[in-house]
Structure 1
Amino acid sequence: MAPKDEAELQRMVVTGINYTDGPIAMRYPRGNGVGVPLMEEGWEPIPVGKGEILRSGDDVLLVAYGTMVHQSLQVAELLKEHGIEATVINARFVKPLDTELILPLAQRIGKVVTLEEGCLMGGFGSAVAEALMDNDVVVPIKRFGVPDKLVDHAKPDQSKADLGLTSPQIAEQIRQLFFKVAQPSVVA
């Protein structure tokens, strides 16, 4: 499991403490959180394997994991400026993956984008792609994450920019891939 913010991290700690059916792992990144207030009360466990819908739209499905959840909301706002409405899912878990949530939305919307801060090869996006294939949900999918190559050490924001993982970069790639928008021209 991977939290989208500090408050969800609190709930995931409670989830981990209360989980007795086997081992459980939580992924959290280096750096600072997004700045949401910590919870004073309401520290309820999160149902294991259950994601949440944060935003609804009919044009593209953004399925995000961990720190990329808030960024996927920014991507959705950038897409909205171009008339593209996105559904955003906070997956929370890779295993078990919330296929009851993801599969019907993927089938209905017909375009899927995964966003993760981890490795693409064998990562969250691969798990989503496998779930789609295994359940005969044949839709275009684009995965955003860290490619299988050596990545130079840098601050998280710089690494994301170098890898094409900033919100504007992702939104533009989605527009070009799924909505046939011409690539921006370079003025010399």
Structure 2
Amino acid sequence: MVEFRRRYGAAPWHLLLLFGCFAVTGGIALRLAGEPTAGRMLLWFLGAVVAHDLLLFPAYALADRALRRALRPDDAPRTPGDEPGVAGRPGDAPVRDGGRPSALNHVRVPALAAGLLLLVYLPGVLGLGGDTYAAATGLTPSPLLDRWLALTAVLFAASGAIYALRRLRGGRAGA
């Protein structure tokens, strides 16, 4: 088992999980191969990959870097990845002194959820494809923007409340 882990680089269950994922993906690909719109779906998928890698990833990486800088006080310890010549893991959050929670993930998580919801419902939020949406659901897409904005506000408010509770609890435990 140790030799397998040393050679493969992960536990055996990781390899089994990968085989399972490849089997599911292969099954879906075989099923879609007979569809008349398979070429359009493949083109959409490749476009989504390119759009993510060339546009979205750099945009949210820059936003995350700016957020990390904005939320890091001058006297707080730096993240290992921020220091020149010191490699840190991409998800490392700034370490706070005294055990205080960082606000970083309390902004990241609702922003990620709101961004994913926006991507999923983007045509409806922008008011595009109303006829198709109405034919598929029997509803109009007009309230989607208001609902997305309200849900985004609720996500950030809940995250802020959790952060405030964590700060209060951390302050009492440290006193």
The interval holding the TM-score normalised by the smaller chain is: under 0.3
* TM score, norm. by length of structure 1: 0.25
Tell me the TM-score normalised to structure 2 length. Answer: 0.26
Larger RCO, structures 1/2 (Cα 8 Å, 6+ apart): 1
Structure with the bigger percentage of helix: 2
Answer 1 or 2: which has greater strand percent: 1
Larger Rg: 2
